[in-house]
Amino acid sequence: MDFGLPEEYVSFKDMVHRWVDAEVPKSWARDLEKDEHNYPFALWDKFTEAGFHGVGISEEYGGQGGDVIMQMVLARELARSLGGLAWIWGITSFAGSKSIGIYGSEEQKRKYLPLIASGKLKAAIAFTEPSGGTDLLGGMRSTADRVEGGWKLNGEKIWSSSAHVADYLLVIARTNKDVQKKHQGLTLFWVPTNTPGVKITPLSKLGMRSMGSCSIHFEDAFVADEYVLGEPDKAWYMLLPTLNNERIMVGSFCLGVIDGVLEDALDYMKQRKAFGKLIGEFQALQHYVADIATMQTTTELLVNYAAWKMTTGQDCGLESNMVKLVASENANKAADLGIQILGGMGYSAETDMQRYWRDSRLWRIGPITNEMVRNGIAETLGLPRSF
């Protein structure tokens, strides 16, 4: 039984690791993150130059190729330095390449995937609603009504990351109210952000600052039929595989955060002196760093297992939920321990521990709360639905 990554993934991981240290070091990430109102276009451009937007997109459509495992390796290495700013790559990878790549038409694939792969198209996800939060289906108020040649979209979305700079929004809305179950009658739209009736407003928040998160208002926004993804009224059935992918991706970002925390903690413990000796000699701090290393290995095994199951076409719903749960809680706890190890410097904006903590705190809430993830795991194990 081999728990290691095959050589092609190890080589890719080493290459990205070196690229991150040279091109997007932690000090630069700190500077980018300081101003939440300035989107880091320079970071996007670096991803473009490196070809990362094409990872996971078939060469047939102008991409670099690579499977889910390759994407997760990239996500981990980017987050080691960038933390939540790695979502600058991840959002379009999910909203654009994954979504269109899975349930887009051939015409849509040929039109949009080369633009995504070349870094010429940015996308954002517009699913969450103010009245629903994690209760996406129960809180769905956005509607799209049939009109000649397309649809009239009305409603409001919230916490749409990078929507203010996106070219397209991946939007889910109710198109049929005469249904027996809440997951029925939903449709996916690929909405140009310059559509009349679309208003995007940035929001302030705790972490992932310069990436930007927004509220979006749709008021009689006309969306032509060509922007419907997949079959109308069947969106939820199409989304489920990509939601698993998103949760594994979150787990990979969290694993990268743990990598960064462990690097910084060990470096500081080997240099900082207190009470006449290096703090790396203190037993309590050694226990903290041992816990972080254990979290790292535990998370890595889960991420790799879930990514392997998805890549090989196996059902990974249970594992993707477990990855999201364990990885987000481990990352946030590791960052908290990292702050404790660094003491006052861990709380300072001059170091990265506070950034890791703020960014990883979101992943315990989104894209789905860990409480709801636990409900899903219990239901998968045969227990009755609790919500």
311 and 180 in a common domain = no
φ/ψ (deg, to 5) at 231: -90, 130
In angstroms, the CA 11 to CA 100 distance is 28
Q: Tell me the average pLDDT of the chain.
A: 94
- pLDDT tier, 101 (very low <50, low <70, confident <90, very high otherwise): confident
The residues carrying an active-site annotation are 246
- Give the mean model confidence (pLDDT) for residues 183-196: 96
Cis peptide preceding 367, ω within 30 of 0: yes
pLDDT, one tens digit per residue, over 302-329 is: 999 999 999 999 999 999 999 999 999 9
pLDDT computed for residue 1 by the predictor:
65
Stretch among 105-109, 133-137, 147-151 having the lowest mean pLDDT: 133-137
41 and 95 in a common domain = yes
State the total domains in the chain: 3
In angstroms, the CA 350 to CA 255 distance is 22
362 and 275 in a common domain = yes
283 and 342 in a common domain = yes
DSSP 135: -
Q: What percent of the chain has pLDDT over 90?
A: 83
118 and 66 in a common domain = yes
- Give the mean model confidence (pLDDT) for residues 135-160: 94
287 and 188 in a common domain = no
Residue 83: inside a domain, yes or no?
A: yes
Report how far apart, in Å, the C-alpha atoms of 288 and of each of 112, 257, 283, 319, 336 are: 47, 16, 9, 27, 10
pLDDT, one tens digit per residue, over 148-175 is: 999 999 999 999 999 999 999 999 999 9
Residue 386: inside a domain, yes or no?
A: no
Note down the domain range covering 212. 125-233
Reference 323, options 374, 247, 264; nearest CA is: 247
- pLDDT tier, 217 (very low <50, low <70, confident <90, very high otherwise): very high
Residue 36 has pLDDT above 80, yes or no: no
Residue 96 has pLDDT above 80, yes or no: no
